[in-house]
Amino acid sequence: MRIAIVNDLLMAVEAMRRVVASATGHQLAWIARDGREAVERCVIDRPDLILMDLIMPNMDGVEATRQIMARTPCAIVVVTANVSGTSSKVFEALGAGALDAVNTPVLESPNSAAGARALLAKIETIRKLIGNGTRKPYPPFTQRAQPAISGPGHLVAIGASAGGPAALTQVLGMLPADFPAPVVIVQHVDSQFAQGLAEWLARHTHLEVRVAREGDRPQAGTALLAGSDHHLVFASSTRLTYTADPVDNAYRPSVDVFFKSANRFWQGNVIGVVLTGMGRDGAEGLLALRQSSHYTIAQDAASSAVYGMPKAAAELGAACQVLALNKIGSRLMSLVSAAAKAHV
C-alpha cells in the first residue's frame, strides 16, 4: 500500500516512516505537517492509507479527516501520542470517517518494538479491508416483500464501521429510556477504545450503554457494545458470548458473524441495521436476516461518512429499507412500538 503520514513532529514522522519501511509491500506516499496540507495533498495524490495525527497547527486531525472523507475519501488511521488522553477527539475522528486509532510509536524507547508491532497490525488490518480492488459478484437484486414486525422479544442489531460513532449517537439519541427492545451494537473499533466509546455514546442517549460482558442477556432499554477483538455472538437464545472463530475474518469483531448468530438463536424478531463503514461486513448477515423475514435497514449514501457497508447491503438486496441517518431512529421507534401494541 501507498501510505501517507500527517504529523507536525519530526520524531513521530521518523518513527512511522521506519515502521512503514520495515514492512514488505508498503511505501511512503508523502508527508504532511498539518491537516490543511494533508487535505491539499490528497487532491493531487490520494494514498491508500493515511496515518493521521490529531493535535496539529492550522487544522487538526479531526477536521482534516472530515474534509478528506468528503472530497477524496481513503482509509485513515489516527496515530497520536496519547490515545487514551484524547479519547473524545479520537471518537470525533472515528465519527468523521477514520477507521481506527493507535498510539504513535516512539523511537529508542523501551516499548518501541511493541509500538511498531501495534501500528503494523493496524496497517495489515486496513490492507485486508481494502483488498486488491476486486469485488465479488453479487446476485441480481430481487425485491422481497417487507416483513411485518409482530410478536414479542424484539432485538435491534446494529453494525457500523468508519463514521459509526457519530452515526450511532444520532440513532441512539432518538430512542427513549423505556425503549421496549434491547440494542446490541458491533462497531469496528479496537478493544482498548470500547469502554471509552460506550461512555461517550451514553452521553448522547437516554438508554443505558455499556460494553457487553461474557454471559450478558440483552435487556430492553439497554444498548450493549461489542468490546473485544473476538466476535460477539449468541451462545443461546438469550445469552451473549465472545468467540475467536472464525479466525480468518478480517473484521474483528464482525457484524456478519453477529447478525448470523442473532438469526440463528434469537427467538423473537430482529431488526438489523447497517450504518456507515468501509468494506462489506454486515451485508451477508443482513441478507440472512431478511431472508428469515426479519426487518432490515441500511443507511443511505448521502448521509454515510463512508458508503461501503450499507452500499454492499443495498446491492445484495439485503435491506427492506434504505434510509437517511436522521430517519433510522424514528423508524426503529415506529417498528418496535407498533409491534408492542399489536402484541397487547
Cβ atoms of residues 79 and 118 within 8 Å: no
pLDDT higher than 80, residue 256? yes
Lowest mean pLDDT among 84-93, 116-125, 226-235: 84-93
Residue 30 belongs to a domain: yes
Of 97, 130, 163, the residue at which a domain comes to its end is: 130
Catalytic (active-site) positions: 161, 188, 281
Whether residues 67 and 215 fall in one domain: no
* Residue 191 identity: S
* Cis amide bond preceding 140, omega within 30: no
Q: What is the CATH number of the domain that holds 324?
A: 3.40.50.180
320, three cell numbers: 427492506
* Sequential DSSP letters for 92-134: HHHHHT--EEEEPP-TTSTTHHHHHHHHHHHHHHHHHHHTTS-
Whether residues 120 and 215 fall in one domain: no
Of 130, 163, 192, the residue at which a domain comes to its end is: 130
Displacement of CA 125 from its chain's centroid (Å): 13
Whether residues 168 and 272 fall in one domain: yes
Residue 145 belongs to a domain: no
Instruction: Write out pLDDT tens, residues 279-317.
Output: 899 999 999 999 999 999 999 999 998 899 999 999 999
Whether residues 62 and 104 fall in one domain: yes
The most distant pair of C-alpha atoms in the chain lies apart, rounded to whole Å, by: 66
Residue 141 belongs to a domain: no
Q: Kindly indicate the confidence band of residue 129, based on its pLDDT and cuts at 50, 70 and 90.
A: confident
Residue 188 belongs to a domain: yes
Nearest to 160 by CA among 85, 236, 223: 223
Whether residues 197 and 59 fall in one domain: no
Whether residues 57 and 185 fall in one domain: no
Q: What is the pLDDT of residue 85?
A: 66
Q: DSSP code of 201?
A: H
Whether residues 159 and 122 fall in one domain: no
109, three cell numbers: 524507547
Whether residues 318 and 198 fall in one domain: yes
Instruction: Write out pLDDT tens, residues 315-344.
Output: 999 999 999 999 999 999 999 987 655 554
Instruction: Tell me the average pLDDT of the chain.
Output: 88
Of 130, 164, 183, the residue at which a domain comes to its end is: 130
Buried/exposed code over 209-240 (b: 16+ C-beta within 10 A; e: otherwise): bbbbeeebebebbbbbbbbbebbbbbeeeeeb
Distance CA 168, CA 7 (A): 29
Residue 238 belongs to a domain: yes
Q: What is the CATH number of the domain that holds 6?
A: 3.40.50.2300
Residue 135 belongs to a domain: no
The angle formed by the CA atoms of residues 139, 257 and 170, to the nearest 5 degrees, is: 90
The domain in which residue 203 lies consists of 155-343
Residue 147 belongs to a domain: no
pLDDT higher than 80, residue 146? no
Q: What is the reported pTM?
A: 0.81
Residue 333 belongs to a domain: yes
Whether residues 123 and 168 fall in one domain: no
Distance CA 264, CA 256 (A): 12
Whether residues 163 and 126 fall in one domain: no
Cβ atoms of residues 59 and 36 within 8 Å: yes
Whether residues 39 and 162 fall in one domain: no
Residue reference for cell 416483513: 147
Determine the angle formed by the axes of helices 164-173 and 87-96, rounding to 10 degrees. Answer: 90
Whether residues 197 and 101 fall in one domain: no
* Sequential DSSP letters for 6-55: E-S-HHHHHHHHHHHHHSTT-EEEEEESSHHHHHHHHHH---SEEEE-SS
Q: Total structural domains in the chain? A: 2
- E strand map for 139-212: 155-160, 183-187, 208-211
Residue reference for cell 498539518: 34
